[in-house]
Structure 1
Amino acid sequence: MSQNVLGTNVITQIGILVNDIEKTSQAYAEFFGVEKPKWFWTDTVDVAQTEYMGKPSEARSKLAFFDMGSLQLELIEPDQHPSTWRDHLNAHGEGPHHIAFVIEGMKEKIAVMEAKGMKLIQKGEYTGGRYAYMDTFPQLKVMLELLENDK
C-alpha cells in the first residue's frame, strides 16, 4: 500500500458555488433549522496574495460557513475577476466546487501532488493560514482544496 499523499483522509469541508449567497444561505439555514451565518468578503489581493493560474488575481468571493458537526459547508459567491470560483461557476453552474483537507507542509504537499500530475490552480492567504486548489479532476474527479492553518 502506498503512503497517504495528504497525511490525512478526513474531509474538513465541502465548497459550493452559488450565484446569490443571501438566498442560498437562507435556504440552507431553513433546511437544517439553524441560524443563517453572516457572509463576508475574502481579503483583498494585497492581503490574500491570490494567484490564479500562476498570476496575481484581484478575485474575491463572498463566503458563508455552516458548521455541520465534523464537516463544514462553505458557500462561495465569486466576484467577476478571474478565479477558479468564477471559471467553474461559469462553466458548470451552481453546485459543488471542492472538498477540502487540513494539511501540514503546504509547499511539500503541492510539490508531491504536482509530481503526480495534479496541477496547482489557485492559492492564497487567509487570516490564520493559506489555501491551495489543486486540479485533481483527471485522477479523483473532484477539485481538492488544501488548507494549512498557522500554529
Structure 2
Amino acid sequence: MTTQKGTLGTNTITQIGLLVHDIEAVSQAYADFFGLEKPEWFWTDTADQAQTEFNGQSSEARAKLAFFDMGSLQLELIEPDRHPSTWREHLDAHGEGVHHIALIIEGMKEKVTLMEGKGMKQVQKGEYTGGRYAYMDTFQELKVMLELLENDPS
C-alpha cells in the first residue's frame, strides 16, 4: 500500500529552472564549471502545438531551452522570447536566476484544481512532446514558483 506524499502525491524535486538572457553563454559557463558537455539548446514548440496560455490568455510565447542532468536533478536554462509569458515577466521583473522548481505528477487537472483551491493559481500552462506542464503561483507560501510536469504513459 502506497501512502500519499503531501499535496501533490510526491515530494521529489526533479528540476530547477533558471531564466537567462544568453543561453549560449550560460550553458557554456555551467559546462565549464561542472566539467560537463554543453547541451544544445532548442526552441519550445510553436503555439499551435504548445497551446500556451499565460494568465488565462493564449500566447505565442516560446523559449530556448537547454538541459543539464545533474545526478537526480535536472537543471533547465530558459531564454524566453519577447511574447507574454511567466518567463518573460519574471526575467524582466527580477533578472536572471531561479524561476521554478519542478515535480513530476499524475493527474494534472486534479492537482491544478487542488492547488487553486488552496489559493495557488495557475499562471501558465502548455503542452510538450510527451506531456504537459503548469506553472503554479506558490510564491506566497513556498517563496518560489512550482512547475507541475505530467508525462504521458510510454
Whether the 8 Å contact between 2:55 and 2:122 is mirrored in structure 1 is yes
> Once superposed, what is the RMSD of the aligned Cα atoms?
0.9
Report the CA distance between 1:16 and its aligned residue: 0.1
2:119 paired residue among 117, 120, 136: 117
Q: Any idea what SS the aligned residue of 2:64 has? A: strand
TM-superposition CA deviations, 1:98-150 (whole Å, max 9, x none): 00000000000000000000000000000000000000001111100000000
1:145 paired residue among 123, 144, 147: 147
Whether the 8 Å contact between 2:5 and 2:11 is mirrored in structure 1 is no
Q: Which residue of 2 aligns with 1:68?
A: 70
In the aligned structure 1, how far is the partner of 2:146 from the partner of 2:5? 18
Q: Any idea what SS the aligned residue of 1:30 has? A: helix
Whether the 8 Å contact between 2:86 and 2:123 is mirrored in structure 1 is yes
1:53 paired residue among 55, 62, 71: 55
In the aligned structure 2, how far is the partner of 1:56 from the partner of 1:26? 33
TM-superposition CA deviations, 1:37-89 (whole Å, max 9, x none): 00000000000000000010000000000000100000000000000000000
In the aligned structure 2, how far is the partner of 1:138 from the partner of 1:3? 21
Report the CA distance between 1:4 and its aligned residue: 1.0
| Paired residue type of 1:139 | E
Q: Which residue of 1 aligns with 2:44?
A: 42
TM-score normalised according to structure 2 size: 0.96
In structure 2, stretches of 5+ residues that fail to align are none
In the aligned structure 1, how far is the partner of 2:143 from the partner of 2:95? 17
Q: Find runs of 4+ consecutive structure 1 residues off by over 2 angstroms.
A: none
| Paired residue type of 2:150 | E
In structure 1, stretches of 5+ residues that fail to align are none
In the aligned structure 2, how far is the partner of 1:45 from the partner of 1:136? 25
Q: Which residue of 2 aligns with 1:96?
A: 98
In the aligned structure 2, how far is the partner of 1:3 from the partner of 1:30? 37
In the aligned structure 2, how far is the partner of 1:117 from the partner of 1:5? 13
Report the CA distance between 1:3 and its aligned residue: 6.2
